[in-house]
Structure 1
């Protein structure tokens, strides 16, 4: 049997608030295979984004185990995490949160290459900007000079520049206009095909998830209450909360329609 790229087992995270323990993630388990999109869906506050941050080590876990390519990430020191993060990157909901407003776009893209001692940086930055639909000369500009959709393309380029195996997409299109959402989702799908990427795709939008994900996990109050192949989840949901989410979505969604059309034509 092939070892999953990512294996999460009984992951937990408890925060202390006003002297009380508040579980944000409670016994979450799932696997993600190479080249696959596994979507984590649920309402705001369900623990989706916290799960993504736990996987990447941006937030320390309270318990459980995370394995990447069969290697446990528990107890890694700074050097160990630096090595792992070459293969695991994140795209944030707000690209400005990952871009230094005082630095040029070129510097922000070069920074991961500098940290990991990778040469030929200028050429790689130009190539990656072209891959996401921008120009090499955009490297000299600053984040505030770009639109929201362009900034998200820069965020994607920054996540991709180290040629990772896994990208955690934390609500990557929810802050964008609907027409721009479709463009960014189509870009993510194309890059996945070209680079063989695996996505942990975190979203509250089930219409988008239906067209981009291979498998889905439904999260409610810190727990995954149901998971399975995307078509099965949408056609025959087993849990009441999953049915509640599906009943709440719009019957027609222009982004989902655009993604579906691009997937068929691409």
Structure 2
């Protein structure tokens, strides 16, 4: 039996708020295979983004275990995390949060290569910019000089430049216009095919998830209430909360709502 790339077992995170313990993530378990997209969906505040941060070690867990390539991450020291983070990267909802506004885009892309002692940095930066649909000369520009969609392409380039095996995508298209969303999703899927990437894709938008995910986990109040293959989740949901989320989807086109044909008034 093939070992999953990522295995999350009974993962928990408790915060203290006003003297009370609040379980943001409550005994969450799932696996993610190499080359697969596993989507975590739910409403705002359900614990999706916290789960992503726990997996990457940006937030310490209160309990449970995370294994990457069969190795537990629980007791890693700083040098151990440095090695793991070459293979685990993150794309943020707002790329400005991960890009230094005082540094050129080229420097922001070079920085991970510098940290990990990787040479030929200028060549790699130029090539990666082209890979995400930008120009090599864009390396000399600053984040504020780009549109939102272009900045997300830069965020993707930064996550990809170390050639990781897993990328955590935390609401990567939710801040973009619908027309730009499709471009970024197509870019992510193309890069996945080329590099064999695995995505932990965090989103509240089920239309997006249906388009990109192989499997889905539905999260509610810190717990995964249902998970399975995408087609099964969308066509035969087992849990009431999953059905609630699906019923709340706004169809992208009247035909999707069963209208049968588009009627234009006037």
TM-score by length of 2: 0.95
Output one character per residue of 1:71-91: Cα deviation in whole Å (capped at 9) or x when no partner: 000021111111100000000
> Cα RMSD between the aligned structures?
1.1
Q: Partners in 2 of 1:233 and 1:110 — Cα distance?
A: 40
Moved over 2 A (4+): 251-254
Aligned pair count?
255
Pairing 1:7-46 to 2, within 5 Å after superposition: 7-46=7-46
Shift of 1:253: 5.4
Alpha-carbon distance between aligned partners in 1 of 2:252 and 2:176, rounded to the nearest angstrom: 18
Q: Residue 211 of structure 1 corresponds to which residue in structure 2?
A: 211
Task: Note the residue ranges of structure 2 that are not aligned, 5 or more in a row.
Answer: 257-266
Task: Identify the residue that residue 141 of structure 1 maps to in structure 2.
Answer: 141
Residue 251 of structure 1: how far off its partner (Å): 2.4
**Cα 1:176–1:74 shift into 2, 3 Å:** same
1:77 aligns with 2:77: yes
Structure 1 distance, partners of 2:177, 2:229, is 28
Q: Give the deviation of 1:24 after TM superposition.
A: 0.1
Match of 1:154 in 2: 154
Deviation per CA, 1:207-246: give whole Å up to 9, x if none. Answer: 1100100000000000000000000000000000000000
The corresponding residue for 1:220 is 220
Aligned residue for 2:163, secondary structure, equals: coil
Within 5 Å, which residues of 2 pair with 1:161-172?
161-172=161-172
Displacement of 1:61? 0.3
Specify the alignment match of 1:114 in structure 2: 114
TM-superposed CA distance for 1:252, in Å, is 2.5
Q: Is the 8 A contact 1:207 1:253 kept in 2?
A: no
Question: How does the TM-score come out when normalised to structure 1?
Answer: 0.95
Q: Matches of 1:9 and 1:79 in 2, distance apart?
A: 24
User: Rg: which structure is higher?
Assistant: 2
Q: Secondary structure at the match of 1:99?
A: coil
In the alignment, which residue of structure 2 is the partner of 1:259?
A: none
Inter-partner Cα distance in structure 2 for 1:32 and 1:196? 13
Q: Is 1:231 aligned to 2:231, yes or no?
A: yes
